[in-house]
Amino acid sequence: MINEKMIFIIAIFVYGFFHSCFAFVPVIIAEFSGHWFVHMSEASCVYEAFVNYYCGTSSMFYHVCITFRRYLGIVALPLNNAPIEKWRVALAFAGCQLLSLVLAISPLLGFGSYGLEAHGTSCGLAWNDRSSTGKAYLIGIGTVCYVLPVTITSIVYVLIIKTIRVLDCALLNTLYTKFVSAYNESTLFLLVAKISKAIDILLFNDFFKLTK
């Protein structure tokens, strides 16, 4: 059965497949040629960079959604047993798509730029862009695509680990209590059995003496 977490996992596989199909082929051609511009144009360079960043940022945002879903399933929602509405999942999916599209298409609109990377066989962001818009875009994409996801993921997993430890301690305490209770009951049962056996032996001896 496909749940809300599986939707994001399937999306990661789909985007990885399309990324491999549409972005790796030009890179392979450039690697065998020795340089991008031997057989391909600048437009193909921009295309390859766009596909890279669109698929890459989408997959990364999906990973953040999966992490947050685990947080809801382990930490938050078990407190009130509230289900996750489908419209929230759809909204998160659409938000990942929209944010990835905005980040990937911005260099095509003049906010930042794509270009050939240093080794000359693949394309990406123009990290040597010293214009004000270029610097702003690099800072923005570095914050949105690295700092925030790493921070959110780290905080969420720390909370998950703490919750699991608390649950483990509670489970161990429950098991210990049940063990002690069972041990006390078994000890009491053995004591009663020994007392009953001793009484039976005494009564049998008295009865044997009387009948003798």
**For residue 50, what pLDDT is reported?**
93
Q: H-type helices in 34-118, by residue range?
A: 42-71, 86-105
Instruction: Provide CB contacts within 8 A for 124, sequence distance 6+.
Output: 49, 52, 53, 114, 115, 117
In a domain, 15, yes or no: yes
Contact 35, 74 (CB under 8 A): no
CATH number of the domain where residue 115 is located: 1.20.1070.10
In a domain, 97, yes or no: yes
Per-residue model confidence as pLDDT tens digits over 41-61: 888 899 989 998 998 898 889
In a domain, 25, yes or no: yes
In a domain, 204, yes or no: no
Domain count, the chain: 1
In a domain, 189, yes or no: no
**For residue 179, what pLDDT is reported?**
54
How far is Cα 103 from Cα 53, in angstroms, rounded to an integer? 8
How far is Cα 150 from Cα 64, in angstroms, rounded to an integer? 9
How far is Cα 160 from Cα 166, in angstroms, rounded to an integer? 10
Q: H-type helices in 106-147, by residue range?
A: 132-142
In a domain, 21, yes or no: yes
Per-residue model confidence as pLDDT tens digits over 139-177: 999 999 899 999 999 999 888 888 887 776 766 666 656
In a domain, 56, yes or no: yes
- Residue span of the structural domain in which 92 resides: 4-156
Per-residue model confidence as pLDDT tens digits over 68-102: 888 887 777 665 555 677 778 888 888 999 999 99
In a domain, 105, yes or no: yes
